[in-house]
Amino acid sequence: MRSSLWQRLLPFLTLIALFVGLIIATPNFFTSTNLSSVVRQTAVINIMALGMTMVIITGGIDLSVGSILALAGCLGTMTMTSGTMTSGTMTSGYSVPAGIAVGIVVGCLAGLLNGALTTRLRINPFIVTLGTLLIIRGFALILTNGMPVQNVPKGFSFLGEGSVAGVPFVLLILLAVAAVVHVILEHTKLGRYAFAIGSNPDAAFYAGIPVKFHTTVIYGICGMLTGLAGMIESSRLMTGQPTAGQGYELPAIAAVVIGGGSLRGGEGSVVGTLIGAFIMGLLSNGCDLLGIQPFVQQATIGAVIILAVSVDELRKRI
Amino acid sequence: MLLQLEGIQKRFGGVTALRQGTLRVNSGEVHLLMGENGAGKSTLMKIVAGMQTADEGRLLWRGQPATFRSPRDAAEAGISMVHQESLLAPHLTVAENIFLGREPSHYGFVPRQRLMQEARHLIEQYGFPLRADMQVRELSPAGKQMVEICRAIRHGSSLLIFDEPTSSLSESETKEVFRIVAQLKTRGVGVIYITHRLEELRTIGDQVTVLRDGETVHTSALAELSMNQLIKHMVGREVSAVYQRSPIARGKVRLKVTGLSRPPLLKGIGLEVHAGEILGIGGLIGAGRTELCRAIFGIDAIAAGSIEVDGVPKRIGSPREAVAAGLAYITEDRQKTGLALGLPIGQNITLASLDRISQYGLLRQAEERAVETKFMHRLRVKAAGPKQLVGRLSGGNQQKIAIAKWLARDAGIFLFDEPTRGIDVGAKAEVFALMEELARQGAAILMVSSELPELISVADRILVMKQGCLTGELPGGCTQEQIMHLAAFKESVH
């Protein structure tokens, strides 16, 4: 028997309770400025977490996302600035989309590298991505000489800070990404294979599924979304920071896990991950508004992660 | 009277696992517990071993009412369970595993020498084929079982429960387990023994209790019961122990294997399977039968040899290419290699045929639903619906799903590796009927089985393997002795 409805709704109910609680606790919470700042702050982690969801469903993990985010941001912004420096060949109007595209492609390539290393060398993804975490970060630092990429075109700020009809542009991007990942996971062959590989890689292989290929593609998609997140982060900072995104892998993994994903593979969902990311976002925003120390914030979020997973394990055992 | 269970009931949510569990076991008696999968045997034993508690009913231990709230509780009273899947620490030694959790300690230190000595003493006393200083991961499944038995004896158990101990053991290993069981018996230990292998019962059993649908339906001395009566009690209807085949006209050759070699496991194997034919492969454990299936299916690379499917030479270097060529492989271990246990029934059924029910990578959901329900119906899968997780099904129903995956793919050549392992009598008959139906529709079937009576009654022809070579061919309906002769004694031609 699968879990009852209310148990599956528990993360969602927690999110609602948190939301309502904050409305009551502080008048500054339910304002359009605050809400849009919550959305903007969580969008980057959220988009990364969606890619991470796919990887975790296959039974893998990607610890290198923070470094991929930085490398993508640096190379993306460098493309934009090189376009303006040799002005005349490329106007800033085109350099922004070109830079964003470069960032996404760089992320995708880094993800494919992770996938290829784990599947071809048969090394545990935890180890592989621990290695690439350092390699990619090092590469970003070498490339930029440790200095942030400056003088990005002004138009670039729209990606992270712009609004469409009062709605933060990043929210629209997040919703679009969520919709695409949801469709991939629930309605495509690739998504089904991801679940099968995560649930039992041997059975998937014996059923004639090209396990290595599909696993690599999933890592590629995760990298691609991380590249996109990197461009959003750069746009909010208006620089390409080689040190950006340090430690981002942990909240991304935490969002997946709070949302019901299992590190053993075969479990996870887009809706769950979104809820997980927003629970963490609201917690940290709420702590800010209520004037709670940042140290206490961290401890609270840590406790929530453990609580969420233990509730989930309990639910599965019943 | 060592153990007495009266009217035990146990429910899990809305499902009643035990309705009326009754069992009486004496000291120095081997008591067989029989029943189909899902009859409630395991639940009853878990209650005895303290892994679960009964909702209703009485448990008397040495005449006193008792409730065991944990395995430790039960162990302290003198009850131990030897599990089907070994629960040992693979990186520790045999001695360390035997004493695990109950080390003789001296101010918190474990004296290694004493541990080794005591373990050696125990091993010698019973003549276990074990060495105290070996790491458990180096042992065969039988060896691991022995360690579990040692562990139970060491804890001074007066009742040992064996849950299908021989399901993964070879004949000689099985004999070894029987020898130990007989020794335990003479020392006055009570033994409850769960098994599906009908032919091995007579050797060791004294009493038998049969469970059906959560109820004890029969209890008697084993000698008073014929095999067919026993089966009748288990299934609740007349079922013959021997499957009755009807003849099928043989068609053209569908699978032809020539000179297949993968030294030292496979040497120059050549065989043909025709449409409408069930070709049996017999042999002892380790003769290379599973390796043959794996090589044909492209899982292991072969050193030499060729494979023809329907007269066309095929290069099969991966399961993917095998599937594309129309082959299907029902593996001997469905939980490890056959099924994604954490996924729903429906998704397991369509797993091998998603490219047929998708377009541009998008799944056609209505079509998938249709395939799921069609095969659940056709194989009479007992489940709540296609969304139920496969891991929650009984062995027989899991096997049906593993087969359904290939029926949905419309495969034409089937490799069945131990198709009846760990499934009950009723489901076995259903699996055989299905194999026959496939053959009648023109499929070619290769069937590996260690159960000689099954091989003899189901296969049209039987090839026997020994040490990676074919040692001979026998017609269906031959005797077990003929197969054993080729499997164990025949000098290989190579």
Span A200-247, pLDDT tens digits: 999 999 999 999 999 999 999 999 999 999 999 999 999 999 999 999
Same fold, B3-235 and B253-489: yes
Band of residue A87 on the pLDDT scale cut at 50, 70, 90: very low
By Cβ distance, the residue of B329, B342, B363 closest to A267 is B342
CATH 3.40.190.10 fits B253-489, yes or no: no
Q: What pLDDT digit, counting tens, does each position of A21-35 carry?
A: 999 999 999 998 999
- For residue B362, the chain A residue with the least C-alpha distance is A188
Contact across the interface for A192 and B342, Cβ inside 8 Å: no
Q: Is the pLDDT of residue A290 over 70?
A: yes
Six-digit token string for B90: 């693979």
Lowest-confidence range among A225-239, B65-79, B166-180, B401-415?
B166-180
Q: Chain A window 142-201: which residues touch B at a Cβ cutoff of 8 Å?
A: 187-190, 192-193, 195-196, 199-200
Q: What pLDDT digit, counting tens, does each position of B28-58 carry?
A: 999 999 887 668 888 899 999 998 889 999 9
| The dihedral formed by the CA atoms of B385, B388, B394 and B400, expressed in degrees to the nearest 10 | 60
How much is the ipTM here?
A: 0.86
Rg (alpha carbons) of chain A, rounded to whole number: 20
Q: Is the pLDDT of residue A89 over 60?
A: no
3-state secondary structure chain A: CCCCHHHHHHHHHHHHHHHHHHHHHCCCCCCHHHHHHHHHHHHHHHHHHHHHHHHHHCCCCCCCHHHHHHHHHHHHHHHHHHHHHCCCCCCHHHHHHHHHHHHHHHHHHHHHHHHHHHHHHCCCHHHHHHHHHHHHHHHHHHHHCCCCECCCCHHHHHHHHCEECCEEHHHHHHHHHHHHHHHHHHHEHHHHHHHHHHHCHHHHHHCCCCHHHHHHHHHHHHHHHHHHHHHHHHHHHCCECCCCCCCCHHHHHHHHHHCCCCCCCCCCCHHHHHHHHHHHHHHHHHHHHCCCCHHHHHHHHHHHHHHHHHHHHHHHHC
Domain that holds residue A217: 38-246
Better pLDDT: A255 or B238: A255
Smallest Cα distance from B56 to chain A, Å: 20
Q: How many CA atoms lie within 13 A of B451 on its CB side?
A: 27
Name the CATH topology of B3-235.
Answer: Rossmann fold (3.40.50)
Cis geometry, peptide bond prior to residue B264 (ω within 30 degrees of 0): yes
Collapsed DSSP state (helix, strand, coil) of residue B201: helix
* Domain-wise residue ranges, chain B: 3-235, 253-489
Beta strand B56-61 with B3-12: parallel, antiparallel or unpaired?
Answer: antiparallel
A185, A199, A211: best to mutate for the B interface, most B CBs within 10 A = A199
Is A253 inside a domain boundary?
A: no
Q: Which of B439, B399, B326 is nearest to A208 (CA)?
A: B326
Count of domains for chain A: 1
Whether B51 and chain A come into contact, CB under 8 Å, resolves to no
Q: Is the pTM value of this prediction over 0.90? A: no
Q: What is the pLDDT of residue A212?
A: 96
By Cβ distance, the residue of A187, A200, A207 closest to B352 is A207
Is A316 inside a domain boundary?
A: no
Dump the DSSP string for B67-124.
---SHHHHHHHTEEEE-SS----TTSBHHHHHTTTS---BTTB--HHHHHHHHHHHHH
C-alpha distances out from residue B102 to B97, B109, B137, B151, B153, Å:
10, 12, 21, 10, 13
Is A190 inside a domain boundary?
A: yes
How far apart, in whole angstroms, are the C-alpha atoms of residue B27 and residue B34? 19
